[in-house]
Amino acid sequence: MALAIVLALSEWDRMYAWIEYSYVILSVQNAQASERQSWTLDENHQFPAETIKLIKLANLS
pLDDT band for 11, please (50, 70, 90 cuts): confident
Scanning the chain, the segments in alpha helix (DSSP H) are: 11-16
26 near 33, Cβ under 8 Å?
Answer: yes
Q: How far is CA 49 from CA 9, 44, 56, in A?
A: 11, 14, 22
Give the span between the Cα atoms of 54 and 61, in whole angstroms: 21
Degrees, nearest 5: CA angle 3-49-52: 80
Q: Which tens digits make up the pLDDT trace of 15-45? A: 899 998 999 988 888 898 888 899 999 999 8
Strand pairing partners for 50?
Answer: 38
The pTM score is 0.67
Q: Give the pLDDT of residue 61.
A: 67
Q: Give the pLDDT of residue 15.
A: 87
